[in-house]
Amino acid sequence: MRVLLFEPKFVGHFLGFAATAAEAFAELGCDVTMLVPSRARGTVQAAIKLDNLPKNVDVRYEIDVPKLYKKWENAEFETEALTMALDRYPTDHLVMPSGDFILTGLMKHGSLRRRVKALGGVDLVMHSCQQVYPDLGIRQRTLCIFDRLAVSLARGIRLLTVDPYATSNASVSHMALYGNPVLPLPHFREIPADAPSQAEARAQLGLPPSGRLLGSVGDLGRRKGTELLIESFARSEPGPDDQLLLLGLLSKTAKDKLKEHQHLVDQGNVIFHDRFVTDSEFCSFFFAVDAVWCGFPHQVGIASTQLFAAEANKPIISSNYGAVGWLTEEYGLGRTFPGTIAAMSEAISWFHQTRDWAPDPEGLARLLNLHTTENFKRDLTAGIRQRVPGLRVDRRRELTEAVQ
């Protein structure tokens, strides 16, 4: 069984997401051709995420899509890239692990949409289901009509989403105009073999052994609310023992905001490492801090940092918006606040003064039992396993399910 995995995005979690999807189909004995951006070749991210995939995964650095990350513009580029991929690689099953932009492209290009549906087996994963979110402006509401139409026209393509809010009863609108189903997909989550102590994690990251740390990690820019975090922390009147850790790639606006509060950096209240974070460092971060910032004032979709924080049993300060806010409240992961400087300053001041704060144990268990790598792989591959019953299941998965 030939599987073509099409992933035109590079930054953030997309390569790791695609790699886990490729593993899922490879474990069934499929021959996977994995197409990723040409600019990923030779990068640290690719070396970490893609070098140790199963032998039946053939990684090809061939997609050339501009780094715009704007739905309508990217839809055209991804549509063209997918057409070329289907011309070049005959396939029995198509997997698009981040298909939001290409879904818009399929709506606009009926010939490609019909060609994709004719394959018989297609899995398209949506990360951004904005059409079910509240407080949209007039322009956004208009564009969301097209999002609903795109989902409706994709009937015959298996649609999934890793946005738990979008498939919950809390969502405020419909995914499609004409009722095309979208299935929930658990987010994958790697469980660390040996969880470090807080002292060990801080030593691994070169952090001071003492101090009460509120932290944010990954791509640190407006989407994550990094500028909001820096300003709110500055206004929270931190004491000598109160520290903010920023670990990851800082956007220009975040760097500019740090310069406005250089005295906090000089005093040691703000610690930042502006660089790519490896998987091991990413994991250590959550064990090193005392609480995790998940501000995301306008985030559409799940934030994987919430799952890592839950794994490390660390509480969250989150915005009350969308999936991030819903997940925090639904599972008792921490406290939610409006995504404003005033509200977040108050939240951080409260954190400075609090020492006995922890997530809800029952909610934590529910969340971690649902969002596992095994559940992600099982649900993602359910379509191809129903279509081709003879595909084998990896022996390790059989043993895991037997134990459970």
Single pTM value for the model: 0.88
> Could you tell me the two tokens for 222?
């407006």
Residue 308 backbone dihedrals phi, psi, to 5 degrees: -65, -40
Q: What domains can you pick out in the chain, each with its CATH number?
A: 2-188+372-403 (3.40.50.2000), 198-367 (3.40.50.2000)
Residues 31, 61 contacting (CB under 8 angstroms): no
Q: How far apart are CA 123 and CA 5, in angstroms?
A: 10
Quick one: three-class SS letters along the chain?
CEEEEECCCCCCCHHHHHHHHHHHHHCCCCEEEEEEEHHHCCCHHHHHHHCCCCCCEEEEEEECCCCCCCHHHHHHHHHHHHHHHHHHCCCCEEEECCCHHHHHHHHHCHHHHHHHHCCCCEEEEECCCHHHCCCCCHHHHHHHHHHHHHHHHCCCCEEEECCCCCCCCCCCCCCCCCCCCCEECCCCCCCCCCCCCHHHHHHHHCCCCCCEEEEEEEEECCCCCHHHHHHHHHHCCCCCCEEEEEEEEECHHHHHHHHHCHHHHHHCCEEEEECCCCHHHHHHHHHHCCEEEECCCCCCCCCHHHHHHHHCCCCEEEECCHHHHHHHHHCCCEEEECCCHHHHHHHHHHHHHCCCCCCCHHHHHHHHHHCCHHHHHHHHCHHHHHHCCCCCCCHHHHHHHHHC
Low-confidence ranges of the chain (pLDDT < 50): 395-404
Q: Quick one: pLDDT at residue 393? A: 58
The sign of the CA dihedral 394, 395, 401, 404 is negative
- Amino acid at site 128: S
C-alpha distances in Å from residue 206, one per residue of 210, 247, 276, 288, 312: 12, 11, 15, 10, 19
Structure tokens at 60: 């090809």
Instruction: Tell me the three state secondary structure of residue 380.
Output: helix
